[in-house]
């Protein structure tokens, strides 16, 4: 089962878990499973139009899924996804 790493700012919505085991053959299915387990995460990941928010980056290993097949990127049972929210500074 793929593992999804949760960044510190979002752990309040996963009962403090830094990693969550998720089911899914694709990144999209894994995110759907994550939201089913932790529904409070949804507004932090998705816009009102059900699109992944632009500041949410997902990495499969060291590759951004945007460079792969996006949400349709296939997953294997031992894959590790990492959620990385963009941080603005100034």
CB 34, CB 22: distance < 8 Å: yes
Q: What is the pLDDT of residue 79?
A: 95
- CB proximity list for 63: less than 8 A, separation 6 or greater: none
CATH node for 3-85: 3.10.20.30
Q: What is the pLDDT of residues 4-25, one digit of tens each?
A: 999 999 999 999 999 999 999 9
pTM attached to this predicted model: 0.89
Listed by start position, the domains of the chain span: 3-85
pLDDT per position as a tens digit, 24-68: 999 999 999 999 999 999 999 999 998 888 888 999 999 999 999
């Amino acid at each position: 089962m793929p593992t999804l790493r949760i960044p510190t700012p979002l752990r309040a919505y996963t009962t403090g878990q830094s990693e969550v085991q998720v089911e899914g053959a694709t990144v999209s299915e894994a995110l759907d499973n994550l939201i089913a387990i932790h529904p409070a995460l949804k507004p932090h990941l998705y816009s009102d139009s059900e699109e992944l928010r632009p500041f949410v980056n997902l990495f499969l290993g060291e590759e951004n899924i945007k460079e792969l097949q996006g949400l349709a990127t296939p997953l294997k049972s031992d894959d590790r996804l990492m959620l990385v929210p963009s941080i603005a500074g100034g």
